[in-house]
Amino acid sequence: MEINEKRIEELVRAAIASLGNGSNAGDGIPVGVSNRHIHLTHEDVETLFGRGYELTKLKDLSQPGQYACKETLTVIGPSLRPIENVRVLGPERKASQVEISRTDSFVLKVKPPVRESGNIAGSAPVTLIGPKGVVTLKEGCIIANRHIHMHTSDGERFGVKDGDFVTVRADGERRTLFYDVQVRVHPQFALEMHLDTDDANAAGIGNGSKVHIVR
């Protein structure tokens, strides 16, 4: 049979075009493992680091506009066992928030709810210790729920909308299904699933691993 090189080239080009920018429903979703971290208001920044202090960017994070800061704090709960060098993330927020893992909660002896970031009403209290002061949050400590950031175009490709919940398969060292994963769709988001260290370690996956939405 004669090989039609032109036809083969057309088929290859069509296959590449069908992949788009690499974020269609057939592709894996990259994982970002989120270690414990802190978001601060401007008022709390000044209390902890001094009047007029501004957070110092260390590096950009995967989500546009978000970055890790050089600054770290000590977190203390009722156990009085401190967790030191907890990274502050920028930019500043309207409400201070501490995101930890379930394992961290055993160290601090707090009972944080599993919540979407920003939903801190009635969450656990913790104390933050900085080089210039101390802030006690009456609420603000949570365990972030499993979620996927998606650009609006990714939402269309995967057939999901903001606020949907999906099941995700991880083919790591320990094959795992993650249930009730919240989808967060926004024009400024980049495609990435966020897991805390407990979930990632349990599934044997890390930063850059690929997971798949289960249909």
Instruction: Kindly give the pairing relationship between strand 176-185 and strand 147-150.
Output: parallel
Q: What is the dihedral of CA 100, 102, 105, 110, to 10 degrees?
A: 100
Percent of the chain with pLDDT over 70: 88
Give the tens place of pLDDT for each residue, 106-162. Answer: 999 999 999 999 999 999 999 999 999 999 999 999 999 999 999 999 999 999 999
Which band of pLDDT confidence, cut at 50, 70 and 90, is reported for residue 78?
Answer: very high
Three-class DSSP labels, 68-108: EEEEEEEEECCCCCCEEEEEEEECCCCCCEEECCHHHHHHH
| Domains in the chain, CATH or no CATH each | 26-32+146-213 (2.40.40.20), 35-144 (no CATH)
More confidently predicted of 77 and 12: 77
Q: pTM to 2 decimals?
A: 0.84
Give the tens place of pLDDT for each residue, 17-37. Answer: 333 333 444 579 999 999 999
Between 1-10, 61-70, 204-213, the lowest mean confidence (pLDDT) is in 1-10
Which band of pLDDT confidence, cut at 50, 70 and 90, is reported for residue 40?
Answer: very high
- Tell me what the mean pLDDT of segment 39-64 comes to: 97
